[in-house]
Structure 1
């Protein structure tokens, strides 16, 4: 039987800015796309990464987040130059995104500007939102990418600023942790370990019962000293500690 490879791609984008309310993309453009490939739950060395000249001024708030300037993007390709390679990379795959609505909205907006009647991203790929997954797994807790990396002990020392490719790599690791069955294996192991301990404890108890217990009685001298101590307590405190 031919083995079926399950392909998933983890995507992140950076933009010129965002509106505080939906639709986020109004007046803004994508400036970076980073995608990491996962096949059969293994992160491969195959990836897609590009910077994009948005032909629009990057907002100060966005620059403070990702540190990408218009000067840096000046000679980079525009979206119409890269969209074919981008679509070919993601097609026939499950798309993994953190807060998927944000990135999907921007990507669909960019595709609509091409005037080529291209299908929307959600019609090309099945989309899975890791933010929704995290909220189900960890209700009431912080579920940002940084928080999830910290929860799963994933090193984020290189994440001084946001970057699409780096964030996609981190999210790929987070996704594998959130969807792994390793936790149940660990619990089974602990259960087995506890059972072994309990069995040994029960064996030792039974063994000690079979032995004749050694009873040590106080000597006459020790009883005499004990009575004197009780008398001293009574005289000091005004009551009998033990009758």
Structure 2
């Protein structure tokens, strides 16, 4: 997978992709993330990428030309499965979407800034608009890093344990169950006996029951229609 991220603040993305799982994915040749400074596609002395909005109002708008030039230059080199725009009014990102995007080959992510991008960019180039929640960030960079992380870790071979991603919260519509490690007894707080039993079927049943219980307590909205809650 290759992910190209277009931004006006490339420095914000230096950290997330140079460490941990994302760095490991690139070292293994399983994923590649490239960050593109939008100002390199701007013209004029000041490399302007934003301008006042027609009709007035507070805030600036990202201009058409620099974005179009950048996307066109990338598309001239390869085909892309998705051109994503990170925006508060996009579709809410979730595990199902992460799973779907992990099957793609090449993706462009455009990071919004200011009051957003000229609507003509959205009309001509964007194939999917994504939000990571009902709040507003200073720009789309952190949101783009969240999406890239959630997607890349699902690519086979990225995680050391191939089954790890399959047991994450939300993969089956439930939150993950409690987990424990050594010591088995910490200041009188003991690991549940079932986890020390070695009986895999009973352990799986316990984990499922705990997932349902935890989901019912913390995210009951996820259980609607599943028939896992009394009265459903």
Task: Settle same-fold status: TM greater than 0.5.
Answer: no
| TM norm structure 1 | 0.32
Give the number of the structure whose alpha-carbon radius of gyration is greater: 1
| TM norm structure 2 | 0.33
More helix by share: 1
